[in-house]
Amino acid sequence: MQAIAKGGFFISAIMKEFIMSEKRTEIGELGEFGLIDRLHQKVKINQESTLKGIGDDAAVIAAGDHVKVVTTDLLLEGVHFDLSYAPLPHVGFKAVAVNISDVAAMNAIPKQITVSIAITNRFSVEAVEALYSGINAACEHFGVDLIGGDTTSSRSGLVISITAIGEAQKEQLSYRSGAKENDIICVTGDLGGAFIGLQVLEREKQVFLANPNMQPELDKYQIVTARQLRPDARMDIIHELREMGVVPTSMLDVSDGLASELFHICKSSKVGVTIYEDKLPIDKQTYDTAVELNMDPTTCVLNGGEDYELLFTITQEDFKKLEKHPDIHFIGYVNKEEDGKNLVTKSGPAVALKAQGWKHF
Ligand code: ADP
Ligand code: MG
């Protein structure tokens, strides 16, 4: 490659052409999803075995009489976790759980993971072992095997990239695109806790930085801080759905916030939704802490991320099978695309649902 000198550095002629000719678009203008959409447009699928590429919680690959699902997530110190309050074993557990959650979101069973890490010399062997104690605990918890990865050095903190591989029968898969008019919208567990937990941990960190003699007061906030630091993936629900013979018509996991995930279902399935504020599940500690922090609990439920609960839609017939389940909540229904995305508020009127999600850029 022909190289030219610029500002004391050598850059390739190809790079120069790119810098000179391309219009510059800020990533913030497109946002994370806009950027992925734009990259997706230029991706060509060459293999018949690629049943689903970009655009769902995991990719789907034909594998004989069944299918494999593959998903990957990247966690960066200072962006996704803060080691001043996140213990390394928890970081390891969470890094696995968030990937297992994407396998669950396809209605598949996780089988293997690979783990790649980049570390600075700030970390000792014992610190890396502490991280792996959490990774190994998660492998045990979810019944998956750690089968490989990569290790390299980093100049800016700890980086963890995990890939999870799962299996399912093709007809058992739940894509984001299968929701139909009149389906019932379900969500597991409770929402908003991880977001509130993060607010509490950040607040206590600031108190500690201002006065290192102050001990953080976290006893009162154990549920919400645990939701942030050591989330579980709802494989229990996936196994129960199988036992009850229910295949959700669409499903994803709540990583970016309920409203944002509902928007994904609407876009992929070409439908609209109506959800009811009074049906949204919130834990008492999440509610009380939101009020204490002067935050609107409903906003936390709709837009707080990282709960790793499952959001799915089922047919009216399947409703009877799940009706009595103590940890599945029925929050609304699917309507025609032209009827929009609606939130029926506690005070009565329906308002347009807004998706704030997590803004990475
Ligand atoms: P999730 O929140 O479920 O992990 P994401 O929003 O991260 O999903 O990703 C949505 C889709 O975009 C997935 O199919 C994912 O594999 C794909 N994707 C994300 N980033 C990239 C990238 N840099 N290149 C190609 N595909 C990507
Ligand atoms: Mg997901």
Measured CA distances, 21 to 9, 18, 166, 196, 238 (Å): 19, 5, 43, 45, 50
Sheet order of strands, 145-153 included: 50-52, 59-63, 66-76, 159-168, 109-119, 145-153
Binding site residue list for Mg(2+): 57, 71-73, 102, 150, 253, 256
Just give the CATH number of 56-172: 3.30.1330.10
pLDDT score at 289: 97
C-alpha span between 200 and 286 (Å, rounded): 11
pLDDT score at 217: 81
* Ligand 1 site, CB within 6 A: 36, 39, 54-57, 73, 102, 255
41, 50, 54: which to mutate for ligand 1, most atoms within 8 A of CB? 54
For ligand 1, the distance from its centroid to the CA atom of residue 32, given in whole angstroms, is 9
Binding site residue list for ATP: 132, 149-150, 176, 255
Closest ligand, as measured to the CA of 162: 1
Report yes or no: 269 and 282 within 8 Å, Cβ to Cβ. Answer: no
- The token duo for 185 is 């919208």
- The token duo for 316 is 């009216």
CA-nearest of 335, 333, 283, 325 to 304 is: 283
Given CA atoms 292, 293, 296, 301 in this order, what sign does their dihedral have?
negative
SS3 152: strand
The domain ranges of the chain are: 56-172, 183-352
Which residue has the CA at smallest separation from atom 24 of ligand 1?
36
Residue 279 phi/psi, 5-degree rounding, is: -100, -5
CA-nearest of 209, 102, 106, 208 to 164 is: 102
Which residue has the CA at smallest separation from atom 26 of ligand 1?
54
Contacts of 116 (CB under 8 A, 6+ apart): 149, 150, 151, 152, 160, 161, 162
pLDDT score at 348: 81
For ligand 2, the distance from its centroid to the CA atom of residue 134, given in whole angstroms, is 21
Measured CA distances, 313 to 78, 266, 273, 280, 319 (Å): 35, 11, 11, 15, 10
pLDDT score at 2: 46
Q: CATH second-level architecture of 183-352?
A: Alpha-Beta Complex (3.90)
DSSP string, 182-249: TPEEEEES-SSHHHHHHHHHHHHHHHHHH-TTSPP--GGGHHHHHHHHS----HHHHHHHHHTT---S
Binding site residue list: 57, 71-73, 80, 102, 132, 149-150, 176, 253, 255-256, 306, 358
Contacts of 322 (CB under 8 A, 6+ apart): 186, 244, 246, 314, 328
For ligand 1, the distance from its centroid to the CA atom of residue 119, given in whole angstroms, is 24
Which residue has the CA at smallest separation from atom 7 of ligand 1?
73
C-alpha span between 295 and 315 (Å, rounded): 35
CA-nearest of 74, 248, 218 to 159 is: 74
Binding site residue list for substrate: 80, 306, 358
For ligand 2, the distance from its centroid to the CA atom of residue 323, given in whole angstroms, is 25
pLDDT < 70 positions in the chain: 1-22, 357-361
Report yes or no: 302 and 252 within 8 Å, Cβ to Cβ. Answer: no
For ligand 1, the distance from its centroid to the CA atom of residue 101, given in whole angstroms, is 14
Closest ligand, as measured to the CA of 35: 1
Given CA atoms 238, 240, 243, 246 in this order, what sign does their dihedral have?
negative
SS3 11: strand
Contacts of 202 (CB under 8 A, 6+ apart): none
